[in-house]
Amino acid sequence: MIKKSIQLGIMPPSPCSYLPGQTESVAIVMDADVHCTDAYQILLESGFRRSGNSIYRPQCLHCQACQSLRISVPDFEPTKSQKRQLSQLKRLRTELKPNLDEAWFPLYKKYIEARHRNGSMYPADRQDFSSFIESDWMQTGYLHLYQEEKLIAVAVTDISERGYSALYSFFEPHHKWSLGSLCVLAQLNHARENTIHWLYLGFQIDGCEAMNYKSRFKPHQRFVAGKWR
Same domain, residue pair 27 and 125: no
pLDDT averaged per 10 residues, the chain (length 229):
77 91 94 92 95 96 93 98 98 98 97 92 96 96 98 97 96 97 98 97 93 94 95
Write down the pLDDT at residue 134. Answer: 97
Cα gap 178→217, rounded to integer Å: 14
Task: Give the pLDDT score at 4.
Answer: 63
Contact 122, 112 (CB under 8 A): yes
Domain membership flag for residue 146: yes
Q: Are residues 61 and 73 in the same domain?
A: no
In tens, the pLDDT along 41-93 reads 999 999 999 999 999 999 998 899 999 999 999 999 999 999 999 999 999 99
Look at residue 2 and tell me if it is in a domain: no
Asked whether residue 174 falls in the same domain as residue 89, the answer is yes
Which pLDDT score is estimated for 118?
85
- Claim to verify: residue 102 and residue 56 sit in the same structural domain: no
Residues 58, 74 within the same domain: no
Domain stops at, among 65, 80, 114: 65
The predicted structure's pLDDT at residue 2: 54
| 126-135 burial code (b ≥16 CB/10 A, e <16) | eeebeebbeb
> Residue 183: which H helix or E strand, with range?
helix 179-193
In a domain, 162, yes or no: yes
Distances (CA, A) of 112 to 35, 140, 181, 186, 187: 29, 21, 17, 21, 22
91 in the same domain as 45: no
In whole angstroms, give the CA distance from residue 211 to residue 18.
Answer: 9
Q: How many domains does the chain have?
A: 2
Alpha-carbon distances, residue 41 vs 78, 126, 158, 161, 188 (angstroms): 26, 27, 10, 9, 18
> How far apart are the C-alpha atoms of 74 and 196, rounded to whole Å?
8
Q: Residue 86: CB partners within 8 Å, gap ≥ 6?
A: 78, 185
Closest residue by Cα to residue 177 from 208, 153, 141: 153
Range of the domain at 36: 8-65
**Domain of residue 117, CATH code:** 3.40.630.30
**Which is nearest to 71 in space by CA: 216, 224, 226, 171?**
216
89 and 76 assigned to the same domain: yes
Task: Please name the residues in contact with 95: beta carbons below 8 A apart, sequence gap of 6 or more.
Answer: 143, 144, 146
pLDDT at 3: 57
Q: pTM of the entire structure?
A: 0.95
pLDDT value at position 210?
85
**Residue 205 sits in the same domain as residue 142:** yes
